[in-house]
Amino acid sequence: MPTTFEHEGRLGERALKAVVFSADEIAARVRAVAAEITEAYGPTEDLLVLGLLKGSFIFLADLVRHIHLPLQVDFIVAASYGNQRVSSGAVELLYDPGAAVKDRAVLLVEDIVDSGTTLERLIPLLEERGPKSLDVCALLHKRLTKLNREPRWVGFDAPPAFLVGYGLDYSEHYRHLPYIGSL
C-alpha cells in the first residue's frame, strides 16, 4: 500500500502520514453495511438513496451495488469546506435532488461526519419535504459532536485526522485513492 501520492501539478508530492483504512477493509465494511440496509428495508419499500456529493460518490456507488433491493439514486450537493481543512460552519446548498422525497424511504449517504454542520442543515430541509422515513448512512464518523440525529449506519469510527481517499478530498485532490489515508 503506497504511503505517498505523487501528483504532477500545483500540489507537487505530498506525503500521506498513514493509511487509515485499506481498500480491503473498506470493501468488507461496505458489504456489511449494505447487508444491514437490505435487511432494514423491505423489498416493497420505495427507497431513495440520496448521495451527498462530492465526497460520497465512490462509497455510494459501491454501497448501492450491494443493496439487494429496488432503489432509486439521486444526489444533493452541499459545501462547507471550500479549499480548507476545517469546515467553515456555513453550509451552502449547490444542487437540490430532482427525485421526489415525499412519502418515500430516504437514505442520505454521507462520506464523513466531522462537525455535523452539513447533516444538521440538510436533515430538517429533507424532513420538510415529507419523507416516509429518513435515515443517514455515513462511511466515517469522527464522533466530535452529538447530532440531533445520529447516522443509523456508520462504516468506521474515524480518527481526528484530516482524511483523504475513497471520495474524500483535499482541495479536490486525492478522491481517487482506493484507500483512506491521513494528511
Catalytic residues, which ones? 114
Q: Which residues does 15 contact at the CB level (< 8 Å), separation at least 6?
A: 3, 4
Give which of 39, 155, 57, 41 is closest to 107, Cα–Cα.
Answer: 41
* Residue that is written with C-alpha cell 456555513 in the block: 90
Contact present, 74 and 50 (Cβ < 8 Å): yes
Cα dihedral sign, 125-95-63-72? positive
CA distances to 94, 152, 172 from 147, rounded to whole Å, are: 23, 12, 27
Contact present, 111 and 56 (Cβ < 8 Å): yes
